[in-house]
Homo-oligomer: A and B are copies of this chain.
Amino acid sequence: MSGKVVLHYFNGRGRMESIRWLLAVAGVQFEEVFFTKKEQFDKLLNDGALTFQQVPLVEIDGMKLVQSKAILNYIAGKYNLYGKDLKERAMIDIYSEGLIDLMEMIIMAPLGPADNIQKTYSSIEEKAKVRFLPVFEKALANSSFLVGKQLSRADVHLLEATLMLQELFPSILATFPKIQAFQEQMKALPAISKFLQPGSARKPPPDEEYVRIVKSVLPHLFK
């Protein structure tokens, strides 16, 4: 079946942004319902639409999916971004889990205590340079894509993550030439090029207003 895809989340990145990226790469149009008031979230809770009382929520193919990883897995599986066999899928999962962990640190940083934020960003930069980026520099040594010589969700996540890192640490890719070349190649893909243009559904980095809205809609998460 087909029907419109609807994303329920804040008007900001958070845990929905990787889903937006994946849908964009798959060429899937989607609508968005933005949370601005606690009452909207409470209504979803009362309607029983949120399985574990959490967002993101994505309406797709007659289902109401929650849990960002379950949503990403479904989209990747449906749109052939998940490798050609179980072994490729395993490699894609390893890379994707690592990238999601890294992006999670970046996503959560602005929501933490203000006095800690510089230390948090230093830790993220260190981990990115020492633990994460070397893995991908090596994986790209002999191929244009991370797994199976074709585009997969892991590639989309890597582009997203490296662009996020560069927003915070502009010269971070200076010592990673293969990742730089990978970025250029990925940015040239039509669906991604379009998503990177102004006016797309891509969201900006979090600002104080975004943080304020998240904390007012989900106060229980910050007690």
Chain A residues close to B by CB (< 8 Å): 51-53, 61, 63, 65-67, 69-71, 73-74, 77-78, 86-87, 89-91, 93-98, 101, 131-132, 135
Contact = CB atoms under 8 A, between A and B. Distances in A.
Given A52-B132, A98-B51, A135-B51, A90 B74 contact: yes
A63 B70 CA distance: 24
Given A53-B131, A94-B51, A131-B52, A69 B67 contact: no
Contacts of A63: 87, 90-91
A73 B51 contact: no
A74 B51 contact: no
Q: How many copies does the complex hold?
A: 2
A-B interface, 7 closest residue pairs, ranked by CB to CB distance from nearest = A70-B93, A67-B97, A74-B90, A70-B94, A52-B98, A67-B94, A77-B86
Most chain-B Cβ atoms within 10 A of its Cβ — which of A66, A94, A96, A101?
A: A94
17 contacts: A52-B131, A52-B132, A63-B91, A65-B90, A67-B93, A67-B97, A67-B98, A70-B93, A70-B94, A70-B96, A70-B97, A73-B89, A73-B93, A74-B89, A74-B93, A77-B86, A77-B89
Contacts of A93: 67, 69-70, 73-74
Contacts of A101: 52
A77 to B, nearest CB: 5
A135 B63 CA distance: 16
A185 to B, nearest CB: 22
A70 B53 contact: no
